[in-house]
Copies of this chain bind each other. A is one copy, B any other.
Amino acid sequence: MEKDPVLRLSRYNRLLKKMKSLGFHHVFSDNIADAIGISSSLVRKDFAYLQLSGIKRGGYEIEKILSKLNSILKKDINQNIVLIGCGKIGQALLEYKEFKTDGIQISAGFDTDVNKINPNIPIPIYSIDKLEKYIKENKIQIAIIATPDSAATQIMNNLINAGIKGILNFAPVDLKTTGKCHISNVNLGIEIENLFYMVNSKHITEEINSIKK
């Protein structure tokens, strides 16, 4: 079921933070496995890979795992990210509370629309002309693109030029990873297409099976 090992690390992180806040100090691989829906073997294997050791019968020390995960996920650095495109989706992201919980901070938004530009709000919105300079001066590594698709490719090039290392793209274009920059495309239309496919693939399978008989 789970395909991406990195996503699993984030899930461990999230779960263990919750457990810590509930007062737990130790955890068994079995507990984690249950909560995340994988096998305990995999949890132990992941921890072994990260050079985290537990105590037989005593489990793993939550604090130790969290500090390892944090150093890996670079949360301790608490780096800022920027948002390009402050339309409906961009606005929703600016106000997305869960980011704070995760220690993620959008430090500035950028847009071409003068009506949206406003440097005097908690998360300032600047003209897109200032994007490259801002990224360089603040050594931003990660950016979110929430522009229309027509603008996305140009923006991506600007971001890469400015030194951005990772992009989360909501524009409905498949931006392609270059060696210099990781790009994660979140294409809502395709996600829903996928669901329709999944939902209807059962019928297809049944069809095929009935034909085979």
Q: Which residues of A contact B (CB under 8 A)?
A: 1, 3-4, 6-7, 9-11, 13-14, 36-37, 49, 51, 72-77, 79, 81, 88-89, 91-93, 95-96, 98-99, 101-102, 104, 141-142, 144, 149, 165-168, 172, 174, 176-177, 182, 184, 186, 188-201, 204, 208, 211
Min distance, Cβ A107 to any Cβ of chain B, angstroms: 13
* Seed contacts A7-B190, A11-B174, A144-B192; 10 additional CB < 8 Å A-B pairs: A49-B208, A73-B196, A73-B197, A76-B196, A77-B196, A99-B189, A99-B192, A142-B199, A182-B195, A184-B195
- The chain B residue sitting closest to A183, CB to CB, is B195
- The chain B residue sitting closest to A79, CB to CB, is B196
Min distance, Cβ A81 to any Cβ of chain B, angstroms: 7
For residue A7, which residues in chain B have a CB less than 8 angstroms away from its CB?
190, 194
Min distance, Cβ A128 to any Cβ of chain B, angstroms: 20
Q: B166 contacts A199, CB within 8 Å?
A: yes
Q: A142 contacts B196, CB within 8 Å?
A: yes
Q: B141 contacts A73, CB within 8 Å?
A: no
Given A6-B198, A98-B172, A174-B11, are A184 and B191 also a contact pair (CB < 8 Å)?
yes
Q: A195 contacts B211, CB within 8 Å?
A: no
Given A165-B199, A197-B74, are A142 and B6 also a contact pair (CB < 8 Å)?
no
Q: A191 contacts B168, CB within 8 Å?
A: yes
A101 CA to B3 CA in the complex, in Å? 30
For residue A149, which residues in chain B have a CB less than 8 angstroms away from its CB?
98
CB < 8 Å neighbour of A74 from B14, B79, B176, B196: B196
Q: A193 contacts B73, CB within 8 Å?
A: yes
For residue A176, which residues in chain B have a CB less than 8 angstroms away from its CB?
37
